[in-house]
C-alpha cells in the first residue's frame, strides 16, 4: 500500500525557516518524481515544486511564489522527500501536501497524496 506521511509543520515567525518531510512507503520511491502542493486556509490548491528522479539528475521546478526561498530535496536511501522553506511570509500559511507522480505515462500527473502538514506563519 502506497503511503505518504508528511511531518514538520509548525508555527513560525515571518522571516523564519522550516523543513518539512514526507516519508514514503509501499513503492519504489527512487523511481518517482515527487511534488509539493499547498492549500491556504479556505482556499484552493497551489502547486509548490517538483523534484525529478536520479535518472533525471534530481532536477527541480518551482512556482514563482516560492522560487529562491524554498528548496525541494530527497533522500532515496531513506525514502524521504523534503521541503526547506526559508524567508517565510504570512502568505505561506497553508497545509502542505506531498504527492507522488506517476511513472507510466509522460508527462507525469499525480496519483497519491499524503495527509498534509500545517504550516502557520505568524508573529
Partner 1 sequence: DIQMTQSPSSLSASVGDRVTITCRASQGITNYLAWFQQKPGKAPKSLIYAASSLQSGVSSKFSGSGSGTDFTLTISSLQPEDFATYYCQQYNSYPFTFGGGTKVEIK
Among 16, 21, 62, 80, binds partner 1 (CB under 8 A): 62
Binding mask 87-116 for partner 1 (x = CB under 8 A): ----------x----x--x-xxxxxxxxxx
Which range binds partner 1 by CB under 8 A, 11-19, 21-29, 46-54, 74-82? 46-54
How long is the chain? 123
Residue 58 found at the interface with partner 1 (CB under 8 A)? no
State whether the Cα torsion 60-84-24-39 is positive or negative.
Answer: negative
Beta bridge partners of 55: none
Which range binds partner 1 by CB under 8 A, 12-20, 55-63, 69-77, 83-91? 55-63
According to DSSP, the β-strands at 11-12 and 117-121 are: parallel
Which range binds partner 1 by CB under 8 A, 14-22, 58-66, 68-76, 86-94? 58-66
Beta bridge partners of 24: 4
Nearest in space to 2 (alpha carbons), one of 100, 122, 110, 108: 100
- 71 close to 61: Cβ distance less than 8 angstroms: no
Residue 57 found at the interface with partner 1 (CB under 8 A)? no
Residues that bind partner 1 (CB under 8 A): 35, 37, 44-47, 50, 61-64, 97, 102, 105, 107-116
Amino acid at each position: 500500500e502506497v503511503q505518504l506521511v508528511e511531518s514538520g509543520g509548525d508555527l513560525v515567525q515571518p522571516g523564519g525557516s522550516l523543513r518539512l518531510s514526507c516519508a514514503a512507503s509501499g513503492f519504489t520511491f527512487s523511481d518517482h518524481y515527487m511534488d509539493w502542493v499547498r492549500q491556504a486556509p479556505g482556499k484552493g490548491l497551489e502547486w509548490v515544486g517538483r523534484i525529478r528522479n536520479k535518472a533525471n539528475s534530481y532536477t527541480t521546478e518551482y512556482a514563482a511564489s516560492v522560487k529562491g526561498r524554498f528548496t525541494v530535496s530527497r533522500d532515496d536511501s531513506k525514502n524521504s522527500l523534503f521541503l526547506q522553506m526559508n524567508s517565510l511570509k504570512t502568505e505561506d500559511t497553508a497545509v502542505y501536501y506531498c504527492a507522488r507522480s506517476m511513472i507510466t505515462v509522460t508527462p507525469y500527473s499525480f496519483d497519491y497524496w499524503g495527509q498534509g502538514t500545517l504550516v502557520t506563519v505568524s508573529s
